[in-house]
Structure 1
């Protein structure tokens, strides 16, 4: 195979952006040969914008056409696992948009289908291409920071007005999106929280406020506390109703503290480990020597195109995936746990009780103000809904 022939399932929101990147030749070794969408308005958009690309009404017809080797799943959230499983069963390589799904059970089934195939499976966690977070991951993995003791991420620069939510009746509904800021804006942050540190919480206590700042039925303000197996703790704070917002990630370890804010990575590096200092220190107010280091971070973040390029290279050359699709379950499990903790008003242990979470989610879907059909119908090509 000299080129990967891509088909895109869903050409609303992100699907249209991926289509235009492929048509423009931004991904080496890749070509867009087909797209599909069940809504005529979206197919009409494709006819006017995607010259030379075959257009289908459904994914099954597109896959069976023999025109594609790999698919990008860019449908509304709930359909990601179903479409991925269908594609794996037909021998396709699969790249899914974030989030991996809405609830862990369906994502686990998708991962099992991927494992049973011999095909590549990726997820569009484009922030893994950001050199800031890649450097943080490198510093932690190399032991420069020592054992992690605390993380704190204040990510409140996701401001969304009421006009944003009013632009589609499916937005910020349990049936339409399956959640609010955690499932729509924060999947990248939740992924990076565990990917950079290499830690998954063992239990979470969260406080999600539903419709606190906006007239919506899902969460728009969250404060969560996490505990880890090694004794470390973490705090995650997010909202769509705060202006101006903050994006500040702190990771404290035995050998210092790293802060990412305003596009910079700063390392307050201890000359010796805190533990070693404490064992030898005899001064009542002694403290370990600390050096402030502005860590140089080189390169630009290649974002979505970078992820598709890496996925293409994995198919053609066996390149290691930056964002394996199977890893989408981790960030989703954290957000599911935050929802469940709030619903139960209690701590939630991880791995998650998947059946209990699904049952609680279904209660809210039954009372939702919209439907999954509405969600799909209203996500228009130029909308870019679900991007952040």
Structure 2
């Protein structure tokens, strides 16, 4: 192989953007082999905007066509694992949009299918291409920050209007999306949290459902997490504040990293805080420190960067920046936050996946997805046509 032919399942907002970019030649050695969507209007759009690209309304037919080597999944969330599993069974390499899925049981099945195959499996965690987040992770992993003590992420610049939520009958419903700000806007942040700082051991959280909008899922979340070494994390997010904030602080024994408005600052202590605490003879002391504006090389390559890395992994064996199997990590934190709120209790990780799935299914049964929504997405209660059935 000297190129990868990729097929896209789902050509809505993200799928169509990927299709146009690939067709324009923005990703070296990656070509658009075919597209698939169940909506006739999406296929009409493809006829006008993707000239010469074969179209399918059944992804199984696209998988069996011989036209593609890999698949990019850009469908509603619940369908990601099902289509990925079918892709591996068809011998295809798989790249899925975020989130990996809605609940960890289905994502674990997807990961098992990936492990049993010899195919490349990636996830569209394009924020991992941001050199500033890479630098934060590098400083933490190198030990330069010392023993980690606390992470605080206020991410409230996800502002959405009621018109946004009204734009699709499946939006902001348990049956349609499987959640609100956690599952739709924040998968990248939750992934970066654990990618940089590690997975917590337990979570306590509060979610507010339809607090700022006429929706049934959460639009405001405050979560507190603890780690085995005594460190803690606080995560605050909402789609109902303006102006919003996007500020990340990571504190360790040797200083503090602050990222806000595209600027990364390192407050580096001359002496570790723990040493100062137990050796200083003064009760009130300001530890000596140096403030660095951390230089960061490179530019964020975003979605095309992940697509290029995925292509290079298939053709050259390049290491994946965002392995698909890691999608379960951020989702586990998301599920833990929901489960903590639903049970009004601490949730220990790894979570009780069966308990979470059962409680989610109760919400899906009572979801307010309108009946005609099945024309927009697969019936996520499992009664849609068998082409896109949910397992």
- TM normalised by structure 2 equals 0.95
Secondary structure class of the residue paired with 2:139: helix
Higher mean displacement: 91-100 or 295-304? 295-304
2:162 and 2:316 map into 1 onto residues whose CA distance is 46
What 5-or-longer segments of structure 2 have no aligned partner? 379-391
- The answer (yes or no) to whether the contact 1:175–1:371 under 8 Å persists in 2 is no
1:317 match: 316
Secondary structure class of the residue paired with 2:248: strand
Distance 1:257 1:347, change over 3 A: same
1:298 Cα deviation after fit: 2.2
- The answer (yes or no) to whether the contact 2:76–2:377 under 8 Å persists in 1 is no
The structure with higher relative contact order (CA 8 Å, sep 6+) is 1
Alignment of 1:20-35 (within 5 A): 20-35=20-35
1:297 Cα deviation after fit: 1.5
1:376 Cα deviation after fit: 6.4
2:139 match: 139
Distance 1:269 1:375, change over 3 A: farther
2:42 and 2:63 map into 1 onto residues whose CA distance is 18
Distance 1:315 1:372, change over 3 A: farther
Does 2:258 align with 1:259? yes
1:365 and 1:289 map into 2 onto residues whose CA distance is 54
1:85 match: 85
- The answer (yes or no) to whether the contact 2:88–2:113 under 8 Å persists in 1 is yes
1:139 and 1:223 map into 2 onto residues whose CA distance is 26
1:340 match: 339
1:372 Cα deviation after fit: 9.3
2:136 and 2:111 map into 1 onto residues whose CA distance is 27
1:371 Cα deviation after fit: 6.2
1:279 Cα deviation after fit: 2.8
Does 2:65 align with 1:44? no
1:378 Cα deviation after fit: 6.1
Higher mean displacement: 47-56 or 100-109? 47-56
1:168 Cα deviation after fit: 1.3
Distance 1:295 1:318, change over 3 A: same
1:120 and 1:303 map into 2 onto residues whose CA distance is 19
What 5-or-longer segments of structure 1 have no aligned partner? 380-388
2:151 match: 151
Secondary structure class of the residue paired with 1:77: coil
2:387 match: none
- The answer (yes or no) to whether the contact 1:95–1:124 under 8 Å persists in 2 is yes
- The answer (yes or no) to whether the contact 1:171–1:375 under 8 Å persists in 2 is no
1:378 and 1:168 map into 2 onto residues whose CA distance is 10
Alignment of 1:215-230 (within 5 A): 215-230=214-229
Give CA-to-partner distance per residue, 1:134-185, whole Å, 9 cap, x none.
Answer: 1101111111101110000000000001111111111100000000000000
Distance 1:375 1:291, change over 3 A: farther
1:94 Cα deviation after fit: 0.2
Does 2:348 align with 1:356? no
1:385 match: none
Aligned length: 378
Distance 1:158 1:194, change over 3 A: same
1:287 Cα deviation after fit: 3.4
2:177 and 2:283 map into 1 onto residues whose CA distance is 54
Secondary structure class of the residue paired with 1:216: coil
1:30 and 1:343 map into 2 onto residues whose CA distance is 44
2:17 match: 17
1:282 Cα deviation after fit: 1.0
Distance 1:373 1:317, change over 3 A: farther
Secondary structure class of the residue paired with 2:16: helix
1:288 match: 287
- TM normalised by structure 1 equals 0.96
Distance 1:371 1:337, change over 3 A: farther
Alignment of 1:1-388 (within 5 A): 1-197=1-197, 199-370=198-369, 374=373, 377=376
2:54 and 2:30 map into 1 onto residues whose CA distance is 16
Distance 1:372 1:69, change over 3 A: farther
